[in-house]
Structure 1
């Protein structure tokens, strides 16, 4: 989309918005927006940034001060992954810094009173990407008109806002203050705001109100429904309200780049947000990079295109197996291949579905001896050598050594190959009868054939499963691999139609006492071993099934206890117990962790760390490393 079309909706009447100049320093005007400023279509930069912008001194972090300009090329494998720009952009109310400490970002400041009362202070003069003021009205609109509107939010406000069923008291004393308050602690509140996929407890009220029945004339709203070809105003509102999907170029944002491509298919452009709230201490408004170009390519082409020098920054879609070909192309492609650490609890994990619809198989999968036996039979050393040249760490799924809850005992639990022990466990279960082909049989006579469904996106997963196929055959278990498309796989798991699946381990393998342990409890269908237990929690019992395994019930109780704990010591004790339970019960069969993540970086691109951790949570992949501070050298 040409700049003039983007600008057309930015400032219909700048004088009505109450702009304020920044007097603390001389700000440098953006060359990208200069012509629009000169033409009067856009205010000067001093009137675009907040009165007290977020000022970063790059010298304090051993980074270079950059200059604005350039187009950064990157790739995704699906058009819906334009949402990665929200992940990478990482503009959050509060966010993690490079030391994984929570600090205000969009917020000017925040007062936390015993995790019960959170007073959030906004930046006067902060504006949405269309130039409209960002105020407490945007928070009020979301809370009162979206989160608590049964047509827009049938389940009510998002779950992390409930403390033992209690919703917060939310108030808006003035245009720049928002208060969330509970009678009991809500220690996960700030962490959730800093997630890779944030909950967005605010909305651009000025943009959304015309799609809301409480604010728009019925006749006018009917015309919008007709134009959009939807039946209800709620459906129209939800279609417009897609802040995480980031696929609506009309929807204002606070992120460093704004979508400038409408109805894109294979190529998307994102241009610098003229009202972004961060500047460097030299008076240069961030982001440094003017444009991000995101190409959609087939999954198998990411490494080849990176090798050909067709990207400036790429990690998504690259696996460790691609390192050799990436290294070969460095000179000709004018890039470097960095190897970052990996923050997931397991590079590859197998998830037996304890909510599988088949009653006979469900009983078998829920027997901890079966899961332990499968884990004991796996030759992780061969997988590590074959896939990662021995550079990964072998073991079951548990937290990583940088977490205070790491124990070698948990990493090794049921993860050191022992065929005798595995066979003994299966015999003890009564699976001692075999078919003529040598495979064990269930009590009902069916052969023990474990069907593992995959997303078909990572060759390393299929290579590992090929090795495990031979391993499990040694204990009389047949592995059948079934690749599917990612969304189909997840829907099948959630519906209980999948016996077992593979994915990464826990996104956050680096937990601290302040990290919510909700992802270790049966609270979310996204943990593929207990989707229906997660649905039960997420819908407050409306769908799904209540946990009925003692270990899962204990995890559920411990997670609730964590939300009520007052000290970090108490929370740490709870965390450790939950990690120990997972290690002993092998709810997910981890193979190894710490496999290096290749990151391709143009030799012209600066401020990208050479050593870092590639993690979804905490960290938002590139987000915690602040891509708005990356820049191109001449």
Structure 2
């Protein structure tokens, strides 16, 4: 009874918090959209201006909209885009620390460091001020530096349903979506001052993507479609064209997540830097000796220079790995100058290509320092002590009362975002498991999966982790997607019925139990399966799953691996039940990077060996059953039409219905709330329309370049 009362009181606190942080307006994005709201509102029009300076630029405002509520009726409101010329200062400005270097002759003037058309953005509180260090916290792998600073060709806006040009100035398609033309920003430079041109794309294309030593299985998806390689044509120094074997509009859905189109490891990078470590531009014997001296050895299939080159290519999620290429040119707002196990220190990029509406080159902060904290309890203590200026990633909702109680002493505010592309307590059934065929056959038995789903107490998970504030959601794309269908719900996902679940397991011949109440397999052994996770925050979810499965007479043994070991175990087909955040890629990004939805990427967990088999053309992995192959092959048609077309909705509904019915993976508590901790002295962080999503690279829509200390 005391626990129930505590939950009720906690829920009251949290509901009050959410009500105070609830978004009141649709976010304005650069393309016209239709936004459905619960109340009739008057929406401001976003103005995208052309500014008259020494260089012509386009102004984009990252703003929260003002609304006037007139009456409580539902209406569709169209957000318009208006283009009008607006004068701005004739000169650009820079941080004092860079001005000092210019004065000493160590840097060219700021107007020579910016492209002809820089990206111009404005934060929700306007113009900031230069100086100081941005302090953030992370865990040992130090992935926050990457997520904080990464920029790609495109970037998603906060709803993760529309993207904008970022590194590139613009793009265009031909009529049938087989030719994509990209337009770069003239005069844009890497952080070492070297020009960014189409050579940085063509060099990587010829020497990395289609190099059999670096890519022995070929470039793969999305560059090979229906067996046809994509062709790259360089038009001039700032224009390039990709020609695909069939329509490929979903490639932009992929690139909208900035990390999927950023330089380094994907399909472009600083050619003048990378060729220094490439065998095509060095003596092979000399380069291999250099690689060995740097600590890289030959593998069973590659010479030492291959691992050496990859270490110098950047693009790593773990900032610790940046130490191997500390002086690699980047396009980040801050570049690493110190990489240690305890922290990463980054300094402003003098060639960063963003400015504010008054011509101030961004970022505002001179430095960014990310501290690694190995223990989650210590991390929470540091968060509540105010040691982080901004924390989006590591706060957990079950600690919401702790965060709220320490706001005054810690000098911060706790905001609530929605997490639209994951499900807490997600669990996948490995359809390729072969080490124990009795267990493997159960995992592949749809009635077994249905029984487990019926015995999966999703509401309890929601109550314990999120005070009931998450949503019940099937293992399917978001309801906001054009291909959503109410039929994705079925009785096995919408219902908690352990009585029926137990009956179904009995009917499968698992009706005998040992003296501890666990079911026995036909061979007399206990029905026991291993659940493997890769992050400590899954531990509580795993405990609840263990309890639910015990009620069904199945023993679940939880195993926590670090992310690297987890990935290797998944690749080795050693897992039975895979525990992570659940069916990811539920947003538009999922069309470009499907993970669980197709056999195209390494993010697939329920059939990773199937992916290996497909990508290697049968040389590795496990051949998938014909039914799975036939269905997942339909993915090619789904991604060949524009996402906003009626045909995409039609195909998508049929395609995702298969996954809703098959239950290869389960969703626990969907669309959970996520706490943001923001220092009270941090400017230009929005207070409304907050979304926390892997699919938009977490930090990108909040423009860290615009943050400053008040």
* Superposition TM-score, scaled by structure 1 size: 0.90
The equivalent of 2:50 in structure 1 is none
| 1:136-190 CA-partner distances (Å, limit 9, x unpaired) | 1111110011111111221222421111111111111221111111242112222
The equivalent of 1:109 in structure 2 is 170
| 8 A Cα contact 2:455 2:549, kept in partner | yes
The yes-or-no answer on 1:475 pairing with 2:552 is yes
Judging changes above 3 Å, is the alpha-carbon distance between structure 1 residues 221 and 399 closer, same or farther for their aligned structure 2 residues?
A: closer
* Superposition TM-score, scaled by structure 2 size: 0.80
The equivalent of 1:235 in structure 2 is 307
**Aligned partner of residue 144 in structure 1, secondary structure:** helix
The equivalent of 2:482 in structure 1 is 404
Q: Of 501, 504, 519, which residue of structure 2 is paired with 1:425?
A: 504
Q: Of 627, 640, 651, which residue of structure 2 is paired with 1:574?
A: 651
The equivalent of 2:103 in structure 1 is 38
| 1:598-624 CA-partner distances (Å, limit 9, x unpaired) | 111000112222234544443111112
Residue 222 of structure 1, CA deviation: 6.2
Residue 409 of structure 1, CA deviation: 4.5
The equivalent of 1:52 in structure 2 is 117
| 8 A Cα contact 1:397 1:583, kept in partner | yes
In structure 2, list runs of 5 or more residues that go unmatched.
Answer: 1-52, 57-89, 298-303
Residue 46 of structure 1, CA deviation: 0.6
Residue 408 of structure 1, CA deviation: 4.7
2: CA distance between counterparts of 1:512 and 1:206? 31
Q: Of 209, 212, 215, which residue of structure 1 is paired with 2:281?
A: 215
2: CA distance between counterparts of 1:558 and 1:161? 17
2: CA distance between counterparts of 1:273 and 1:128? 9
Farther-moved stretch of structure 1 (193-202 vs 180-189): 193-202
Residue 85 of structure 1, CA deviation: 2.9
Residue 566 of structure 1, CA deviation: 6.6
The yes-or-no answer on 1:500 pairing with 2:561 is no
The equivalent of 2:259 in structure 1 is 197
1: CA distance between counterparts of 2:555 and 2:165? 52
Residue 227 of structure 1, CA deviation: 4.4
| 8 A Cα contact 2:140 2:341, kept in partner | no
The equivalent of 1:450 in structure 2 is 529
Judging changes above 3 Å, is the alpha-carbon distance between structure 1 residues 464 and 566 closer, same or farther for their aligned structure 2 residues?
A: closer
Residue 229 of structure 1, CA deviation: 4.5
Q: Of 368, 374, 382, which residue of structure 2 is paired with 1:292?
A: 368
| 8 A Cα contact 1:93 1:107, kept in partner | yes
The yes-or-no answer on 1:438 pairing with 2:535 is no
Judging changes above 3 Å, is the alpha-carbon distance between structure 1 residues 615 and 558 closer, same or farther for their aligned structure 2 residues?
A: farther
Judging changes above 3 Å, is the alpha-carbon distance between structure 1 residues 73 and 438 closer, same or farther for their aligned structure 2 residues?
A: same
| 1:290-329 CA-partner distances (Å, limit 9, x unpaired) | 2110001114122111001111011222211121111111
The equivalent of 2:27 in structure 1 is none
Farther-moved stretch of structure 1 (585-594 vs 238-247): 238-247
| 8 A Cα contact 2:424 2:541, kept in partner | no
| 1:31-60 CA-partner distances (Å, limit 9, x unpaired) | 1212211110111111100012112255xx
| 8 A Cα contact 1:30 1:45, kept in partner | no
Give 1:13-412 correspondences, 5 Å limit: 22-23=54-55, 25-58=90-123, 62-79=124-141, 81-82=142-143, 84-99=144-159, 100-113=161-174, 114-199=176-261, 200-217=266-283, 221=287, 224-225=290-291, 227-230=293-296, 232-245=304-317, 247=322, 248-262=325-339, 264-300=340-376, 301-356=378-433, 357-411=435-489
2: CA distance between counterparts of 1:485 and 1:512? 26
In structure 1, list runs of 5 or more residues that go unmatched.
Answer: 1-20
| 8 A Cα contact 2:546 2:556, kept in partner | yes
**Aligned partner of residue 344 in structure 1, secondary structure:** coil
2: CA distance between counterparts of 1:513 and 1:261? 35
Residue 289 of structure 1, CA deviation: 1.9
1: CA distance between counterparts of 2:131 and 2:560? 42
| 8 A Cα contact 1:520 1:555, kept in partner | no
Farther-moved stretch of structure 1 (217-226 vs 331-340): 217-226
2: CA distance between counterparts of 1:484 and 1:518? 20
| 8 A Cα contact 1:69 1:288, kept in partner | yes
The equivalent of 2:682 in structure 1 is 605
Aligned length: 604
| 8 A Cα contact 1:513 1:575, kept in partner | no
The equivalent of 1:485 in structure 2 is 562
**Aligned partner of residue 631 in structure 2, secondary structure:** helix
2: CA distance between counterparts of 1:298 and 1:219? 41
Farther-moved stretch of structure 1 (496-505 vs 128-137): 496-505
| 8 A Cα contact 1:90 1:624, kept in partner | no
The equivalent of 1:540 in structure 2 is 617
**Aligned partner of residue 318 in structure 1, secondary structure:** coil
1: CA distance between counterparts of 2:429 and 2:580? 11
| 8 A Cα contact 2:342 2:373, kept in partner | yes
2: CA distance between counterparts of 1:441 and 1:396? 30
**Aligned partner of residue 107 in structure 1, secondary structure:** coil
1: CA distance between counterparts of 2:640 and 2:630? 15
The equivalent of 2:301 in structure 1 is none
| 8 A Cα contact 1:28 1:284, kept in partner | yes
Residue 512 of structure 1, CA deviation: 7.9
| 8 A Cα contact 2:152 2:259, kept in partner | no
